[in-house]
Amino acid sequence: MSNTKLAILGGTPVNNKPVPPYNTIGADEKSAVLEVLDSGELSGFVAGPYDSFWGGKKVRELEEEFKKEYNVKYAIAVNSATSGLHCALHAMNIGSGDEVITTPITMSATASTILMTGAVPIFADIDEDTFCIDPESIEKNITPNTKGIAAVNIFGHPANLKRINEIAKKHNLFVLEDNAQAPHAKHYGKYTGTIGDAGVFSFNRHKTMQCGEGGVIITDNEEIAFKAACMRNHGEIAVEEMGKKDIVNTIGVNYRMTEMEAAVALVQFKKIKQLNKTRIDRANRITDGIKNIDGITAPYVDKDSTHSYYFYVMKYDEAKIGIPRDLFVEAVMKEGYYLRGGYVTPLYQHALYQQKICFGDKGFPFTANPRNNEISYEKGLCPVAERLHEKEFILTNIIYEPYTLEDMDNFIESIKKVIANKDELLSSKM
């Protein structure tokens, strides 16, 4: 292999095949959509104090499947996980002047939905191994204004939810699980999404289970469930007629899921165990293949948790490998397999937080926080998150369908090929 010329230097790549599109949709999903189209009812929702306030047949079937599978009392289908986060946070009665602690290494919606309630996100650092929010950093960031914790089960691995719940109970805080990337993962024998006060799942087109766009909130808390449902469907015009006297945070929008989306999501959800198994098998193949490469560390899996592998995320030690991270990533990419350096820029580094400008030009909701002048989003806020993103994260999505175990082997070969030819690679860049 050491004599094989790298593709980045004009050699033949390990993989010449075009990148296959991600696709888990089959005949069952098509049949489910046709059933909805034939029925003529593309949405069963009506905004008002009627039974149809709760949605159509397929939406309710999906919710029932979630309740049954996760042994929870309530499930609320929505048109995206972003909407689900917004509904859940809203239903937890947070608002102007409040703070919610979350992670900076996540999709932007985890934090932006906090802002949408009038509260502000406070960013805690992440754990060195799991890449999830660090419970010790959470405790350091609790103030009298803290109302809750939005924990993300990032990349498919659970956050330390047991410890996070202990902290939340001690300080009387809610815990919201952003479970978009970890469907059917487990932590101490319990499914993620069921461990906090509420959990949010995603059916976005990139997720393990998909229907284009969509999401589900699950909870055992009746008030959270009702208020989330109110926000989903213009609840302000129905709350009194439905016998509820507490109208706080029952104002709503249109976050409803269509019957076609629900039909596809229902089929996909019934496949989740197999969809996860396929990803886990591929991830394990890579882990086995790179175990003797000094300088690349496979994803950590806590002994009391399972991993569902939204991405396959490795830690890269530039000093041990001897190739700058971004050059290594570029060289592996040229061999025909996706690899990426870093994940998302820590959220607080974006202009929204740097300038504290959100609704209007006067700084709301930041200015509504009595600690606004104390709250900093400056670089260096979360040093572990920054270091991992800037220097050590490398990740791939080739554990997705329709890649094969052979692709995993070829991906490993690509990594080894680049390392074996590092002298030529480095000299070419001098």
Give the separation between CA 312 and CA 339, rounded to whole angstroms.
10
pLDDT of 3 reads 54
Peptide bond into 365 cis (omega under 30): yes
User: pTM score, two decimals?
Assistant: 0.97
What pLDDT, on the 0 to 100 scale, is given for residue 112?
Answer: 98
Give me the DSSP letters along 132-162: SBPHHHHHHT--TTEEEEEEE-GGGPPP-HH
- Residue listed under structure tokens 């094969």: 404
Cα separation, 249 vs 204, in Å, equals 26
| All structural domains of the chain | 7-24+272-343+386-428 (3.90.1150.10), 27-271 (3.40.640.10)
- Distance between CA atoms of residues 197 and 81, nearest Å: 16
Distances (CA, A) of 4 to 13, 183, 406: 10, 41, 20
Residue 115: both structure tokens together: 């802002």
The partner residues of 278 in beta bridges, in order of sequence, read: none
- Long-range contacts (CB closer than 8 Å, 24 or more residues apart) made by 404-413: 405/281, 405/282, 405/285, 407/15, 407/337, 408/282, 408/285, 408/286, 408/289, 409/285, 409/289, 410/14, 410/15, 410/336, 410/337, 411/286, 411/337, 412/286, 412/289, 412/290, 413/1, 413/14
Positions in the chain short of pLDDT 70:
1-3
CA dist 137 and 131 (Å) reads 13
Q: By CB neighbour count within 10 A (0-12 exposed, 13-18 middle, 19+ buried), where does 23 fall?
A: exposed
Distance CA 203, CA 194 (A): 17
